[in-house]
Amino acid sequence: MFVLVNLKAYPCDPVAVAEAAATVADDTGTRVAVAPQAAHLSAVAATGVETWAQHVSGVDHGSHTGSTLASAVADAGAVGTLLNHSERRLRLAAIDAGLRAAEDAGLETVVCANNPPQVGAVTALGPDMVAVEPPELIGTGTPVSQADPDVVEEAVAAAGRVDDDVPVLCGAGISTGDDLAAARDLGSEGVLLASGVAKADDPEAALRDLVSGI
Ligand SMILES: O=C[C@H](O)COP(=O)(O)O
């Protein structure tokens, strides 16, 4: 199972979370990655944790003020990127361009989607992984794997109808080992989470509980 911790814009210490994630990954053999703010990528990568960007722009070098270049996040130490998170929604053409830019920079990709039909659609664009996240459950602490298990199973089926080599992650409200085990039992190959770790008083303890469900 792949555990991708998205720090979003939460007021947590990204280096402290990254160090906790690296420790848990090393101790348990679980693949854990951290996606901080772009400005924190280098500091997070320096901890040795697998580091991901929260977004990259579908552009190359040029007059693109305010963009987040895939090559720049790779230079900062990121090895992957999210695309189309519900809080950073993209048009279909922009998702495709972002995927191409990420691939050119050697970044692995997780494309997010709200529901199974969207999972099928974005799977067709050729990401490395997809993540289904019902927006209404994000940040609620109510795990999608238990609140809406059908959406997870249907997302796995939707991706499989397009390309069964694309793993499906799930996210929204995931925080405990039971949530992770439920996600795995529904066919997910990983989870995307944020508040359960970024808002935790003890991120390492939160991650140890989470991965105990594997
Ligand atoms: O990127 C993470 C997802 O939006 C889930 O967020 P959450 O774990 O706070 O519900």
Asked whether 183 lines ligand 1 (CB < 6 A), one says: no
The confidence score (pLDDT) of residue 24 equals 98
The confidence score (pLDDT) of residue 214 equals 84
DSSP state for residue 94 in the 8-state scheme: H
Asked whether 35 lines ligand 1 (CB < 6 A), one says: no
Domain parsing of the chain, residue ranges: 55-162+183-190
| Percent helix / strand / coil, the chain, rounded to 5 | 45, 15, 40
pLDDT digits over 31-73, tens only?
Answer: 999 999 999 999 999 999 999 999 999 999 999 999 999 999 9
Under the banding of pLDDT at 50, 70 and 90, the label for residue 203 is: very high
Give pairs for 156-162: CB < 8 Å, separation 24+: 156/186, 156/187, 156/188, 157/116, 158/116, 158/117, 158/119, 158/120, 158/123, 159/119, 159/120, 159/123, 159/130, 161/120, 162/120, 162/123, 162/124
Q: Is 55 a catalytic residue?
A: no
Question: Ligand 1 centroid vs 140 CA: distance in angstroms?
Answer: 9
Query: What's the complex ipTM?
Result: 0.97
Under the banding of pLDDT at 50, 70 and 90, the label for residue 175 is: very high
Q: For 77-93, what is the mean pLDDT? A: 97
Asked whether 6 lines ligand 1 (CB < 6 A), one says: yes
pLDDT digits over 111-167, tens only?
Answer: 999 999 999 999 999 999 999 999 999 999 999 988 999 999 999 999 999 999 999
Judge whether 118 and 156 are in contact, CB under 8 Å: no
Q: Is 64 a catalytic residue?
A: no
Give the Cα separation of 81 and 107 in Å (integer). 7
Q: Residues 55-162+183-190: name the CATH superfamily.
A: Aldolase class I (3.20.20.70)
The confidence score (pLDDT) of residue 146 equals 86
Identified catalytic residue from 55, 85, 154, 204: 85
Alpha carbon dihedral 53, 54, 59, 63, in 10-degree steps, equals: -90
